[in-house]
Amino acid sequence: MFWIFLKGFSVSLGLIVAIGAQNAFVLKQGVKRQHVFWLCLVCALSDSILIALGIYGFATIITLYPQALRFAQYFGAAFLLWYAFIHLRQALQTQKIQPLELQSTPALTQSILICLGLTWLNPHVYLDTVVLIGSISAQFSQGKLYFALGAMTASWLFFFSLGYAARLMAPWFQSAKAWRILDVLIAIIMTLIAISLLRIQF
């Protein structure tokens, strides 16, 4: 059964590693060392729930009733564009950016809500994590649990590695220019993802 575990691990890791809205948010918060543990926990738990739903039947429901994703498609795109605008505005601000240790820390609740929005309002999450992983797991009728554990393990390992390894990049972000570049990149990523969401045909 170990190879089924590895199959789930590799499939999940391959999907998560791609740069997306959720990963970009965790990366930035990791660099700023703000609520890293809780945000990684929220991401990993959310992913585990979605993986379980996909493997144990929810993928079939989404396939049969794709209109259920319409709300997430449009609201998610609007949310991503708003988030992109926030980062672009930050990048264009002319005042001197404070060093990391002096930057204000947003409330934990606010950070978690943003993280949940970037996770659960993104239809790509359902198509990749629920539908794709759920479909692949169907070939392991006697080993779904091991496949699920492998996929979830990859998710937990990735998010906590991303969140805590990001702090190693902190020395690079002691200048205003570095923060502006990061904000512009995040704004571009969010905008491209929003556009791709609007192009999905269900």
Compare 180 and 112 and report the one with higher pLDDT: 112
Distance of alpha carbon 32 from the chain centroid: 17
Question: For residue 182, which phi and psi values (nearest 5 degrees)?
Answer: -60, -45
Which of these, 168, 150, 176, 182, lies nearest to 36 by C-alpha position? 168
Question: Two tokens at 93?
Answer: 């601000």
Question: Which range, 34-43, 65-74, 136-145, 170-179, is most confident?
Answer: 34-43
Q: What is the pLDDT of residue 200?
A: 64
- pLDDT recorded at residue 194: 79
**Rounded Cα gap, residues 30 and 41, in angstroms:** 13
What's the confidence (pLDDT) of residue 66? 63
Q: What is the pTM of this model?
A: 0.72
pLDDT at 101: 47
pLDDT score at 54:
85
DSSP helix/strand/coil, 140: coil
Q: Span 3-32, mean pLDDT?
A: 83
CA distance 134 to 64: 14
What number is the average pLDDT over the span 116-142? 79
Q: Which of 24-38, 62-76, 80-94, 154-168 has the lowest mean pLDDT?
A: 62-76
Query: What is the DSSP annotation of 4-52?
Result: HHHHHHHHHHHHHSS--HHHHHHHHHHHHTSSHHHHHHHHHHHHHHHHH
**Alpha helices (H) in 58-175, listed in sequence order:** 58-64, 70-92, 108-120, 123-125, 133-137, 144-165
Contacts of 4 (CB under 8 A, 6+ apart): 140, 143, 146, 147, 150
Least confident interval from 58-62, 132-136, 148-152: 58-62
In this model, does residue 23 exceed pLDDT 90?
no
Domain locations in the chain? Answer: 2-198
Q: Smallest Cα–Cα separation from 159: which of 3, 16, 2, 57?
A: 16
Residue range 153-172: mean pLDDT, rounded: 89
